[in-house]
């Protein structure tokens, strides 16, 4: 049953044109279920994460169908503080969609003589796939419980080394590497230079980028002889959890949008499209990389919505509401950073309405 299910997933990708020829044998040889805990959550959502708990002992067929589907399997919430079957606030470990993994592996372009560093072991499934092609894989996991689970699942693969450590810092055994793959997203202004320093000139680093405001693109960097790396965006859509070393507070204290202590200015930049549309929001995220956003709907007590930018680190915030004229918005800003001014300074043109 397991082997047939594995082959079915591979066949689906081949028919859809998503299976690069060099990865067919790897995906056929590695069974995903070997790395997935018996109790897990499957993401049944389309746009937002909608996790449903599944127990292999109680629903074996449904569990297996989820494992051998092109879906995200969440294996940990809130760094392990949330106990199955409860659904936690923050997913902190998952087995990514196999199609997304394929896109990243294809961009990495692994050769048979390559030494590979993987940042973010998770379940160990991706490291097992890498081991089918690379000469040696060093995979780093910050969470000791997750690292031990992966170490057990990978025990039969002598070319894989599981290291329990912080992936964003430190020098890892096996360096220098020909390829580095991060399965956790990197804050756009905090790219770990240690990855560049541990990669051979001409080597490749593939990582998702992000800011607090939005997930960013997958980028393929090539390391130069002068100790720098230059990257290009890969046309593969991904969304990954951030490196734990790059986390910032995700909630903020309740604020008053019309706080009289805030500085009042005006803007012609339409905030709803700017914050809710993916393209403009990523441009804003690059301008103010530590910010979170929110959009409040109108209420009977407040006949207009409120757009928010909040920097939990500095305590700065900006609220934007419709002004007293068309295409005019009232902007209130407070704290050491003028967040909306940063947004306006970085925009090339007004976003389409």
Q: Which strands, in side-by-side order, build the sheet including 306-311? A: 263-267, 329-334, 316-322, 306-311, 292-296
Q: Helices (DSSP H) in 68-227: which residue ranges? A: 98-108, 125-131, 144-153, 193-197
Q: In this structure, how many other beta carbons lie within 10 angstroms of the beta carbon of residue 229?
A: 20
Q: Which domains does the chain have, with CATH numbers?
A: 2-245 (3.40.50.150), 263-346 (3.30.310)
pLDDT tens, per residue, the chain with 353 residues: 455 567 777 777 876 777 888 898 999 899 999 999 999 999 876 556 689 999 999 999 999 999 999 999 999 999 999 999 999 989 999 999 999 999 999 999 999 999 999 999 999 999 999 999 999 999 999 999 999 999 999 999 999 999 999 998 878 899 999 999 999 999 888 899 999 999 999 999 999 999 888 888 999 999 999 999 999 999 877 888 889 888 876 667 789 999 999 999 999 999 988 888 887 888 888 888 888 899 999 999 999 999 999 998 889 999 999 999 988 999 999 999 999 998 888 765 544 44
Identify the active-site residue in 94, 95, 96, 319.
96
Nearest-CA neighbor of 312 among 281, 279, 339?
Answer: 339
CA distance 287 to 345: 9
The predicted pLDDT at position 348 comes to 52
- Give the Cα separation of 115 and 200 in Å (integer): 10
Cis bond upstream, residue 85 (ω within 30): yes
Distance between CA 154 and CA 161 in Å, rounded?
Answer: 9
Residue 295, both tokens:
């959009």
Beta pairing partners, 40: 54
Residue from 100, 125, 115, 97 nearest 204 by CA = 115
Annotated catalytic, 319? no
Residue/partner pairs of 325-330 with CB below 8 Å, 24 or more apart? 327/268, 327/270, 328/266, 328/267, 328/268, 329/266, 329/267, 329/268, 329/269, 329/270, 329/271, 330/264, 330/266
The pLDDT of residue 340 is: 94
Whether the CB-CB separation of 221 and 230 falls below 8 Å is answered with yes
Residues in a beta bridge with 30: none
| Nearest Cα residue to 291 out of 321, 269, 316, 266 | 316
DSSP characters for 239-281?
--PBPGGG----------TT-TTSEEEEE-S-HHHHHHSHHHH
What pLDDT shows up at residue 50?
83
Contact 246, 321 (CB under 8 A): no
From residue 212, give the alpha-carbon distance in Å to each of 119, 241, 286, 351: 20, 11, 9, 21
Structural tokens at position 265 = 């200015």
Inter-residue contact 278 to 272 (CB < 8 Å): no
Distance CA 139, CA 162 (A): 5
Residue 159 neighbours by CB under 8 Å, 6+ apart: 131, 134, 135, 136, 137
In 10 A of CB 113, how many CB atoms?
A: 9
Cα torsion through 3, 101, 228, 185, rounded to 10: -130
ω into 217 cis (within 30 of 0): no
């Amino acid at each position: 049953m397991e082997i047939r299910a594995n082959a079915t997933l591979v066949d689906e990708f081949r028919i859809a044109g998503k299976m690069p020829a060099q990865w067919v044998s790897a995906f056929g040889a590695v069974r995903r279920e070997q790395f997935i805990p018996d109790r897990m959550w499957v993401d049944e959502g389309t746009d937002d994460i909608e996790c449903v708990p599944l127990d292999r002992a109680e629903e074996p067929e449904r569990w297996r169908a989820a494992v051998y589907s092109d879906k995200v399997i969440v294996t940990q919430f809130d760094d392990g503080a949330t106990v199955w079957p409860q659904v936690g606030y923050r997913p902190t470990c998952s087995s990514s969609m196999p199609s997304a993994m394929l896109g990243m592996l294809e961009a990495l372009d692994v050769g048979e003589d390559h030494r590979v560093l993987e940042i973010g072991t998770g379940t160990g499934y991706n490291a097992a796939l890498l081991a089918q092609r690379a000469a040696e894989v060093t995979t780093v996991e910050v969470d000791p419980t997750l690292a031990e689970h992966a170490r057990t699942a990978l025990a039969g693969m002598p070319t894989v080394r599981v290291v329990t450590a912080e992936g964003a810092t430190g020098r890892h055994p096996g360096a220098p590497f020909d390829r580095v793959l991060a399965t956790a997203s990197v804050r756009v202004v905090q790219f770990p230079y240690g990855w560049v320093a541990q990669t051979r000139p001409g080597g490749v680093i593939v990582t998702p980028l992000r800011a607090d405001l939005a997930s960013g693109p997958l980028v393929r960097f090539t390391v130069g002889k002068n100790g720098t790396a230059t990257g290009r965006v890969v046309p593969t859509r991904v969304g990954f959890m951030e490196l734990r070393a790059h986390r910032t507070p995700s909630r903020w204290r309740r604020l008053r949008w019309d706080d009289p202590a805030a500085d009042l200015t005006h803007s012609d930049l339409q905030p709803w499209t700017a914050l809710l549309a993916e393209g403009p929001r990523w441009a804003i995220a690059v301008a103010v990389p530590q910010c979170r956003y929110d959009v409040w709907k109108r209420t009977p007590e407040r006949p207009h919505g409120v757009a928010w930018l909040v920097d939990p680190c500095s305590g700065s915030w900006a609220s934007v509401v419709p002004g007293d004229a068309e295409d005019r918005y009232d902007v209130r800003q407070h704290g050491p950073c003028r967040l909306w001014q940063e947004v306006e300074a970085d925009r090339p043109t007004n976003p389409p309405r």
